[in-house]
Chains A and B, each alone.
Chain A
């Protein structure tokens, strides 16, 4: 049949556009399927953090679905550019608009079937791999996964089908609003003149970005840190768009007015070309920038959290088991511990106990710690907490004397140092920094990690607690360790807050953060594919636009090598803008993320920097690779005229 013949030949002719498009949609279908399939799997439900993990996977699945839809809408524009002149020609040759409708419908059905079949096959194959990966991250070994989840298969087909129907409607509406001639010659947009409003928007963009960066730089580890961060994200999104669309044009126009600078061959071509590109592509460059930023931030936070699990666990449970009781451990309790240990064939070692004040929450005003008391009294000003330990107990546990006078104190505070004259709980101390404290921990598991203050006499009037900790040796699986810890807690009749077992905590964090890393990687993958294709189509469409510019400049006396060089450097510059913006965004996000991490009892700055540098470098390499590959296609297009 004629229609199918026409479509087939069109697919073959426009392989440069359709090939990558199909590849990208298939991969997005696959990722959507994988996520949905994991979401309905029952194995993770047995995890301690199953509700949190499942919720996270579901939120990520919805997010990726949204990304997929946005991507399809966006890329459809480029495909339309390729198709419209073809449809225009058919129309001029006498096809009715009904015929064109049929062609459009066939095209979309083809694309839909192609991406669904390839995508689901890939999805089914890689789902097992993804699931194994998830299992590894969660440190769960007995995950069960059927080969195919038919319900999810159906759901994915339904969603994608819906998306393609929307795309089809969009194309059909466009088709009916244009006459054959308009289809045939897509009109080139005229350069715009910008009034004061435009300048104002550019300035607003800068102001918004500055505001966002100010927020991230001044974020304190308060309960509001996360919402502050989200505010900053919103500001960055708006600011980046405004800056790329308006700000860049303003800067380039300023450069254009510097005659001595502008009228040099390199600058002349670069500035005018960039100006035009920014006018047309400011929004897509901003999108690329934000996508890259999102990838960086998502990977950075999830990987640092996951890598820092060991540190965090240590802060929640400095010993294998830590108990917090009002009174010292009684003889009866000690008996319970020993009998449970015996039942589980566990050997208890290095048991210690000491007395301390309960965690005092509050915030620092200069060198004054404003004490708000227990966690119930916290406000949105709360940022810190302190625990007093007597120098006697300090010596008992560490074996080292503290050598303190009554007005002196040693302060162990990994988040922020406090030395010199400090006032805490109404007492003035001459404080010295303590760089290490083996038994420091976070007894309340709160977001305000405590500073430990070693003094000769615990301040009167503050409630006290007894901290007892011990390690144990047990031959057996993680599961048996966990069972022992749970048994111990049950027999001692202690609440969750009073007894912390290291294996339990480790298991909890692994399942929680492991799920997060998994979601982070999958989202990054989806965003990465999207970004790649956006870049690719930008290169293609710019290649076609530059064809004639290339030619004219050569006629005016620019050598081929000079032209290639200047266009190359200009394309590279335009390309580097988004990634540079993304790295800047990450740099400014780190202080805020660090504060949020502090709340999750994570202080390892060095690890954070390592992760940040590693993922930035990795992204750069991938980005340049994409740039190189797509630039080759670009050159093929541009050189075609010769």
Chain B
């Protein structure tokens, strides 16, 4: 069943100026429920713009982005905010935890905004704490824990609202390789539990955890890889090769 559908999405900045910048030229793809998709590309390829459009933080200037049969371009700003907190979970490179809140309150943030009962919040946090191994640090503050732990808290925050789609923007970009591997394993685990994930990255190792990888260049989808029955190592090599071709401007 299709969860996300992009039809010829376009995004142009400063359309009326003498130097319009087209970040996305023509992007079309679909993501089915329960899938784990990585989007790769170099800096400036339009990855972040694409993610922002799916995240309802920006509107496409052409084409359509449909999530769960909701046209994202038709949302007003306030509707978009409500839509975000009900249907989307975010994970960022720099975790983006609020330093004024304890880890527990950071995780609760989306639920509090949705006016959930405190008892329900505690109930939902319980299994997440176990799965993400954050029970010990839950009552500390973000500034008191390591980067890997902060990212676990951020994952908990993204998952607690039980979103339709989990959006991850370079989730391992600020972590060392061991911690990255741990976080990526967690993503696998989360996906196996039925969570749809869309991850933007330029790390081949991160992308190799996904079942499908889209390559973007100059605002278009350039190539697509499926993991199929390949081992993760083999798949990662294939991704690296594709990236290399992409960078060198090959066919």
Contact = CB atoms under 8 A, between A and B. Distances in A.
A191 to B, nearest CB: 5
B118 A260 contact: yes
B96 interface: yes
A560 B81 contact: yes
B81 A190 contact: no
A188 interface: yes
Interface of A is mostly: helix
Contacts of B135: none
Given A268-B112, A557-B113, A191 B81 contact: no
A552 interface: yes
Interface residues of B, number: 35
A552 B121 CA distance: 20
Given A272-B101, A276-B99, A555-B84, A263 B78 contact: no
Interface in B84-117: 84-86, 88, 90, 92, 96-101, 105, 108-110, 112-116
Contacts of A562: 78, 81
B96 A552 contact: yes
A396 interface: no
A272 B100 contact: yes
Nearest to B109: A556
Contacts of B108: 263
B112 A264 contact: yes
A374 interface: no
B57 interface: yes
B14 to A, nearest CB: 15
A99 B84 CA distance: 50
Nearest to B114: A557
A272 to B, nearest CB: 5
A502 B143 CA distance: 72
A559 B90 contact: no
A273 B80 CA distance: 24
Contacts of A275: 100
A558 B100 CA distance: 17
Contacts of B77: 559-561
B115 to A, nearest CB: 7
Nearest to A551: B96
A559 B78 contact: yes
A494 to B, nearest CB: 74
Contacts of B86: 557
A432 to B, nearest CB: 66
Nearest to B84: A557
A259 B118 CA distance: 7
Given A260-B118, A275-B100, A556 B143 contact: no
Contacts of A555: 55, 57, 84, 90, 92, 96
B81 A554 contact: yes
Given A552-B98, A556-B90, A263 B82 contact: no
B110 A561 contact: no
A395 interface: no
A548 interface: yes
Interface string A235-277: 0000000000000000000000001100111001000110110
B216 to A, nearest CB: 22
Contact of B113 (A272, A549, A558): A558
**Residue of A259, A548, A557 most packed against chain B (CB within 10 A):** A557
Interface in A537-574: 548-549, 551-562
Nearest to B121: A263
B157 interface: yes
A97 B85 CA distance: 49
Interface in B11-57: 55, 57
B87 to A, nearest CB: 9
Given A263-B116, A272-B98, A561-B77, 15 more contacts: A190-B141, A190-B143, A191-B99, A263-B112, A263-B118, A268-B112, A272-B100, A272-B105, A552-B97, A555-B57, A555-B92, A556-B84, A556-B113, A559-B80, A560-B77
24 contacts: A188-B143, A190-B99, A190-B141, A190-B143, A191-B99, A191-B141, A263-B112, A263-B118, A264-B112, A265-B112, A272-B98, A276-B99, A548-B96, A549-B98, A549-B100, A555-B55, A555-B57, A556-B84, A556-B85, A557-B82, A557-B84, A561-B77, A561-B78, A562-B78
- What are the nearest 3 A-B pairs in CB distance? A557-B85, A559-B81, A276-B100
